[in-house]
Amino acid sequence: MRHLLSTGDLSHDEATLILDTAAELAQVGDRSVKKLPTLRGRTVVNLFYEDSTRTRTSFELAAKRLSADVVNFSAKGSSVSKGESLKDTALTLQAMGADGVVIRHSASGAAHRLANWVDGSVLNAGDGTHEHPTQALLDAFTMRSRLGRLEGLRVAVVGDILHSRVARSNVLLLTTLGAHVTLVAPPTLLPVSVHTWPCEVSYDLDAVLPKSDVVMMLRVQAERMHESFFPSTREYSRNYGLDGERLSRMPEDAIVMHPGPMVRGMEISAEVADSPRCTVTEQVANGVSLRMAVLYLLLSGS
Ligand code: NCD
């Protein structure tokens, strides 16, 4: 494995190796000195063309914990705002000797393009509405550590599937790992090609909740919407929002997940967001170990 572009590229064994490696590396996070010398002398470039809080800092921390040199490059304040193309930026990074490039870009397929232009490993940190592989891997890691298994788990992914790269990456990965995914959304927020995805589809959240071990809530990605996809936010919340009442109808040990950023009161109520059954901060913590694992597996060999 040289790049991490899509969870669809991962075999069951490769995905399991990443999760197992993350579990080992998580122990480093519990020590007072959280650093390993593994990637000393290697350079990781964080190339972020889109806003990010969790993913960028998580990759930065992960690379630093492995002793890599990290360069953070954001589109604002770089030559990108002067009109430089992705290819020229890539060639510049290449000339500086980047061993790994972490890229987030608003164009679906940007990470794949980049992989053709640079010698180092490319890690897709979110490309448009296409994929977000490390998010799906950290989600699977969190499910496995909370519930003890992935095989046979019933996972509902709820909300704006149409604009979500998190949903596609999760469906592909979880299916490979033996879980069953049901997407829950209004018809307007499902991609037309959804029938080709290896999962089930429902428009009825209340019917799916009692049969779910994991309920993953997604943010309505208003920044990607140029028309209206539902009548009002109030109606959206009423049909597809998770509140305390709905939470009480989930199986007792079922968990609630969210990739962040959450919009409290929209897809998730404050009560559910703050409940111990919601794993949102655990997901963030696991994200660092998971990204350490991916960086380690991709960069330590070369
Ligand atoms: C997601 C993203 O950017 O795709 N966030 C994340 O990386 N944790 C989801 C979102 O923005 O709603």
Distance (Å) from CA 259 to ligand 1 centroid: 6
The pLDDT of residue 156 is: 98
In this predicted model, which residue has the larger pLDDT, 78 or 143? 143
219 is in an annotated binding site: yes
Tell me the CA–centroid distance for residue 66 and ligand 1, in Å.
24
pLDDT given at position 103: 96
The residues with which 139 forms a beta bridge, in sequence order, are none
228 contacts 250 by C-beta, under 8 angstroms: no
Supply the residue whose CA is at minimum distance from atom 7 of ligand 1: 55
Rounded CA gap, 193 and 115, in Å?
26
Segment among 54-58, 171-175, 225-229, 259-263 with least mean pLDDT: 225-229
Q: How confident is the model at residue 94 (pLDDT cuts 50, 70, 90)?
A: confident
Kindly tell me if the per-residue pLDDT of 302 is higher than 80.
Answer: no
260 in a known ligand binding site: yes
Mean pLDDT for 183-197 is 96
* pLDDT of 72 over the 80 cut: yes
What is the value of pTM for the model shown? 0.96
The number of the ligand 1 atom at minimal distance from the alpha carbon of 164 is 4
258 annotated as a binding-site residue:
no
**Pocket around ligand 1 at a 6 A CB cut-off:** 54-55, 126, 132, 135, 165-166, 219, 221, 259-260
What integer is the mean pLDDT of 79-101?
84
Residue 231, CA distances (Å) to 88, 183, 188 in order: 43, 21, 11
Three-state helix/strand/coil letters over 76-130? CCCHHHHCCCHHHHHHHHHHCCCCEEEEEECCCCHHHHHHHHCCCEEEEEEECCC
- β partners of residue 122: 101
Tell whether the model's pLDDT for residue 182 goes beyond 80: yes
- Annotated ligand binding at 37? The verdict is no
Residues 208-227, mean pLDDT to the nearest whole number: 94
Per mean pLDDT, which range of 44-48, 89-93, 95-99, 108-112 is the poorest?
89-93
Domains in the chain, CATH or no CATH each = 7-132+284-299 (3.40.50.1370), 133-279 (3.40.50.1370)
Q: Does residue 82 have a pLDDT over 80?
A: no
Provide the pLDDT confidence category of residue 81 given band limits of 50, 70 and 90: low
Query: What is the band of 83 on the pLDDT scale with cuts at 50, 70, 90?
Result: low
- The separation between the first and the last C-alpha atoms of the chain, rounded to the nearest angstrom, is 11
Q: How far is the CA of 302 from the centre of ligand 1 (A)?
A: 30
The whole-number pLDDT of residue 298 equals 97
Cα-to-centroid distance, 19 and ligand 1 (Å): 20
The H or E element spanning position 46 is strand 43-48
Query: What's the mean pLDDT in 279-286?
Result: 97
Measured from the Cα of 132, ligand 1's closest atom is 4
Tens of pLDDT, residue by residue over 115-132, are 999 999 999 999 999 999
Q: Which atom of ligand 1 is nearest to the CA of 165?
A: 4
Q: Name the residue among 261, 256, 183, 187 with its Cα closest to residue 220.
A: 261
d(CA 119, CA 100): 9
- The catalytic site residues sit at 54-55, 82, 104, 132
Asked if residue 54 belongs to a known ligand binding site, the reply is: yes
Question: Which of 124, 127, 132 is the pocket-test mutation for ligand 1 (most atoms within 8 Å of CB)?
Answer: 132
Helix (H, G, I), strand (E, B) or coil at 269: coil
Closest protein CA for atom 12 of ligand 1: 219
| Confidence check: pLDDT of 196 > 60 | yes
Q: Whose CA is nearest to atom 11 of ligand 1?
A: 261
What is the chain's mean pLDDT, rounded? 94
Q: Which of 53-62, 153-162, 224-233 has the lowest mean pLDDT?
A: 224-233
Rounded mean pLDDT, 125-142: 98
Distance 261 CA to ligand 1 centre (A): 7
What pLDDT band is residue 110 in, cutting at 50, 70 and 90? very high
Site to probe by mutation for ligand 1, drawn from 58, 129, 166, 216 as the one with most ligand atoms within 8 Å of Cβ, is: 166
In the numeric block, which tokens belong to residue 48? Answer: 């972020």
Region 167-185: mean pLDDT is 98
Average pLDDT over residues 85-98: 88
Q: What is the average pLDDT across 56-63?
A: 97
Is the confidence at residue 84, as pLDDT, over 90?
no
pLDDT of residue 76: 72
